[in-house]
Each structure stands twice: as structure tokens, then as C-alpha cells.
Amino acid sequence: MTNQAGSSPEAEKIDAKRKAGMFSPITGSIKLLKRWWRIAVQSDIDQPAIIEKIKADCSFTPRYAFLICMSAGIAILGLLLSSPAVVIGAMLLSPLMYPIMAVGFASATGDSAWLKDSGWALLLGTLIAVLFSAFVVLLSPLQTVTPEIAARTRPNLFDLGVAVFSGLAGAYAMIRGGMGTIVGVAIAVALMPPLAVIGFGLATMNWTVFAGSLLLYFTNLMVIALTAIVMAWLYGFRSYMTERQTQFQIFAMIVVFVGLAIPLSISLVQIGHEANISRAASGFIKDQFGSKARVSQIDVDFNAEPVLITASVFTPTIKAGAGEQSSRVLSRTFNEPIEVQIEQYRVETGDNAAEAELAAVKAREQQQAVETQVAKLRESLALIAGVDQDDVTIDTVKRRAIVMAKKLPGASLQTYYVLEQRMVRQMPDWAVYIQPPPAVLPELVVAENELTNASRQRMEWISWAALRSPVAIAMSGSEADMDVVASELAKQNLFLVKKPTTDDPGRVKFEWVVANDSE
């Protein structure tokens, strides 16, 4: 049977299939999947309740600001201590999850008022975290770049992946509920430590650290927000935007994502290249000296030109030209100039090599401890004496430190004596000498040819000043009184200039002798 056009129903079906093409099974499956997703998944989502829940915790409040400060404070202390456990613990307090999720959902739905409110909270939270971290760093005596800080100054493509997964988990937790705290920690890990490192770079004026961590924070922030937008679209959240606005938003998201992915990919390639050089250098140096040798330490300076590799090797046989040979091989392998410097220590056996390595490590640790102690001693003495650190003389061999103090307002001779005694107690292994300025010297009282108990204490300060200061001290009083004092000073091998006078019997006065007085 045919229709009016002369074609049968079977022929029409064949023509329809032919027009649909070879991809008709795929497109049909996609339509079925969309329908199933809309009925089985999107229909169960209570969109108004979810939006209200996110809105309730995305605004800037005193509680939000307080938690930002506490989280940033713990995070920066963990970074300064290079303690991953402390850094992760700080994330439990971070409230950054809700405002960043709100930015994503508000962008997806086109709610400009909500976007403005959550964006403002996120901006203020960012500024508070950075400034509070910088404040903590300024108060901290530790201001060195630790491994935990350095790890957040070179973002790469893996960091972008972390942000994507964090954003997916965060948006899913917002939509489906549950796991809020755990997912909040995941998002905070991607945001709060970089914020704390930005504060560190600002406080120490280390702009390399500042710029690297700022790029990492911007990357994580944008990617998590963009991922939240995609998840909101995926779960069918109602949008108030026109088709043209939606298309522009999709285009902007692609531009931002690609714009971030390109430099991060370049960074990842560079990091991989550096890792390959380090691994190849370690392997070649070990193979060059054989199994009986032990490579103690390999350091690679990629900022040097050419790349500089330094190594310490404990070996039973000293190999001449080992560094030059390693340089040639590595330079040829990586097609770039590489300089290798190998410091060789001769030991007899493998066991001796292990013992020598342990001894070398212990020696380095002791040297670092001494350097830290010297820096602390120099800083403390400079602060006490009111001078620059360069004015403090330190002899590490004899473990002796000397500084000439400036005259401080209201400071007496006793003040400098007490300060030196305090430093001696703090540094018992060092000989600490503070040379006092020409301050007013106390007078001594002699009663019945003996010093009073109070005068004996004051004489200890005068003796200390005479031993420390390059300026001479003279005493004045009656001959009998000065003889009593002189006999006490002689016990310490001190002999002062005498100026006899009969003005004030029973009292011996002291004064600094300048050059004109001694002539």
C-alpha cells in the first residue's frame, strides 16, 4: 500500500533514518540521558532551600571576620614552623567555603545582588587574612622562607587540578548536603595557605613569594568559583540571564580557564625539567663512584647561570676530574650548560663512608646551631647596647663577644652590669663583655677602716667597669680611706690613680680619667 505521493510507510522510515545519519544512536542516547538526569536527579533538588542555606552564611559578619583571623593566624604559624599538620588544622576554622560557593551560584543564576554581597565578603575576607598574616609575621622572630612557604610560590597545572576537585566537592556538598566541614577544609586548603603566604611576602617585602602565592590564590579562587557555576548549571538551577548573557558567560569562563592553564602548564613543564636534572645528576654521580661510595648531599641551584650542582661524596678512591666529567655528560644530555662541583672525602670502606656521612651531617647541624646562636647573641647584644649589629665583635673560635654600649637615658653603671650578667646566664658557653659608657660612678663609704656592706656591692660594679672599659678610672678621698679601697682592688689586680683630698672624710669618690686629666 502506498500513500498519495506513491511511497510506502517502510520507505518513509528508511528515508528518515537516512536523514538522521550514522550518529542517530548517539544523539538518541544523549537525549535519553538528559531526560533521565532531569527526572531522576534535578527533580529531587530543592533549589530555594539550597540557595537560602548558602545565602545565610555568605555575608560579611563579625563572626566571619573573627574566624578568618584565627584561621589565617594558625595557618601562617604552621607555615613558619613548616608544620603541615598545623596548616591543615587551621583549615577547620576557615569560613571561606560559603562566600566562594555563593559567588559561583550567584553567577550561574544571574542574581546580581547576591553576587555583590558574596563578592564583597570574599574581598574583605581576603584583605583581612593577608593583613593579619603580615601582622603575625612582623611580630615573629622567624621570617625565613620554609619549605611549606616555598611550596606555595610556584603554582602549576596540578594546583589547577586541586582547585577543580575542591570546587566539585564543595558544590556537590552544597547541593546534596552532608560532608560540609570536610569539604570546607578541602576548599580552605586551596585558599587559606596561599593567603597566609601572600601576607608573609608582604611583611618581608619578598615580592617573588608575594607574586607566586598571589597567582596561586587567584588560580584557586577563580577555578573553584567557575566549577561551582558549572555544577549549578548541571543541576538545573534556575537562571535569570538571557541566552546571550549565558553564552557570554561561557565564553568568559573558557578564556579564564585557558588563560590560567597556559602559564601553569609552562610552570609544570619547568618543574618537571628541574626534577629530571636533579634525578639524572644524582644517578650519574652515584654510578660514577661505584657502590662502595656514598653520595651525602646533592644541591641544585637553578637560578645560577649555568645551572650549578654541588655534591658531597664519601669514597675509598678519589677520582680526579669527576666534576668536569659530570658537567660534560649532563650538559650534553639536557642540551644546556650545567656545572657540577663535587667535594670528595676519602674513606676506606662502605661502613666508613656511612660513618663519615653521619659525622658530616652532625658537623653541619652543629655549624648551623652555632650560626643560629651567634645571630641571636649579636642581635641581643646590639639591642642591649643600643648599637647596630655590625658594632658587635664576636670571636667564634674563642666563643667571645664584645660590644661598647652607648649611653642610654636613665641607665646607671649598675644597669650595664646587670645586663651583662643576664646575657652571661643566657649564653653560659660564651664569654660576654659589655663595655660601659662613661656613666656616673658610685662612691664608697669607709667606716672604721672597712667598707660598708652596701659599698662592697658598689665596689663590684666599679671593678667590673675598670676591667671592661678602655678608659681609666681615678679615685679621690683621704689617704687612709683610699688605702682601704686600694687594698680591696689589689685583690683583683686593679690599681687606680689616686687623687688625695680632705673634703669628705669617710667617702671615696671615682671618676673617669680623660686624656687631659692624666697629663
On the question of pLDDT at 515 being above 60, the answer is no
CATH code that applies to domain 272-361:
3.30.70.1350
More confident site: 123 or 298: 123
Per the listing, cell 661598647 goes with 404
Q: What pLDDT, on the 0 to 100 scale, is given for residue 519?
A: 42
Q: Which three cell numbers stand for residue 91?
A: 583549615
Q: What pLDDT, on the 0 to 100 scale, is given for residue 518?
A: 43
Q: What pLDDT, on the 0 to 100 scale, is given for residue 202?
A: 92
To 5 degrees, how large is the angle CA 67–CA 71–CA 73? Answer: 115
| Dihedrals phi, psi of 189, to nearest 5 degrees | -60, -35
More confident site: 359 or 445: 445
Residue 284 near residue 322 (C-beta atoms within 8 A): no
pLDDT digits (tens, 9 = 90+) for 94-115: 788 888 888 988 888 888 888 8
pLDDT digits (tens, 9 = 90+) for 186-199: 665 678 889 999 99
User: What residues contact residue 484 under an 8 Å CB cut-off, 6+ apart?
Assistant: 446, 449, 450, 451, 508
- Reply yes or no: is the peptide bond before residue 306 cis, omega within 30 of 0: yes
More confident site: 21 or 471: 471
Q: Which long-range contacts (CB under 8 A, 24 or more apart) does 136-143 make?
A: 136/72, 136/73, 136/76, 136/77, 136/199, 137/76, 137/80, 137/199, 137/200, 137/203, 137/204, 138/203, 140/77, 140/80, 142/80, 142/81, 143/80, 143/200, 143/203, 143/204
Q: What pLDDT, on the 0 to 100 scale, is given for residue 199?
A: 93
pLDDT digits (tens, 9 = 90+) for 210-236: 998 999 899 888 888 898 888 888 888
On the question of pLDDT at 239 being above 80, the answer is no
Q: What pLDDT, on the 0 to 100 scale, is given for residue 22?
A: 55
What's the rounded Cα separation, in Å, for the pair 454 and 59?
Answer: 68
**Average of per-residue pLDDT across 447-469:** 83
Model confidence at 287, in pLDDT bands (50, 70, 90)? confident
What's the rounded Cα separation, in Å, for the pair 266 and 155?
Answer: 10
User: What share of the chain has pLDDT > 70, as a percent?
Assistant: 84
What's the rounded Cα separation, in Å, for the pair 501 and 129?
Answer: 70
- What single string gives the DSSP state of each residue in 46-69? -HHHHHHHHHHTSS--HHHHHHHH
| Dihedrals phi, psi of 496, to nearest 5 degrees | -100, 155
Q: What pLDDT, on the 0 to 100 scale, is given for residue 66?
A: 93
pLDDT digits (tens, 9 = 90+) for 245-284: 778 888 888 888 888 888 888 888 888 888 888 888 888 8
CATH code that applies to domain 362-435:
3.30.300
- What single string gives the DSSP state of each residue in 176-227? H---HHHHHHHHHHHHHHHHHHHHHHHHHT-HHHHHHHHHHHHHHHHHHHHH
User: What residues contact residue 393 under an 8 Å CB cut-off, 6+ apart?
Assistant: 401, 402, 403
Tell me, rounded to whole angstroms, the distance of Cα 274 from its chain centroid.
22
pLDDT digits (tens, 9 = 90+) for 60-99: 899 999 999 998 999 999 899 888 888 877 777 778 888 8
Summary mean pLDDT of the chain: 80
On the question of pLDDT at 128 being above 90, the answer is yes
Global pTM?
A: 0.58
pLDDT digits (tens, 9 = 90+) for 470-499: 888 888 888 888 888 888 888 888 888 888
Among the ranges given (50-54, 145-149, 410-414, 431-435), the one the predictor scored with the smallest mean pLDDT: 410-414
On the question of pLDDT at 502 being above 80, the answer is no
pLDDT digits (tens, 9 = 90+) for 398-433: 788 888 888 877 777 788 888 888 888 878 878 888
On the question of pLDDT at 52 being above 50, the answer is yes
Q: What pLDDT, on the 0 to 100 scale, is given for residue 454?
A: 83
Q: What pLDDT, on the 0 to 100 scale, is given for residue 360?
A: 60
Model confidence at 10, in pLDDT bands (50, 70, 90)? low
Among the ranges given (12-21, 101-110, 164-173), the one the predictor scored with the smallest mean pLDDT: 12-21
On the question of pLDDT at 330 being above 90, the answer is no
**Average of per-residue pLDDT across 150-178:** 83
**Most confident range, picked from 169-178, 334-343, 349-358, 408-417:** 334-343
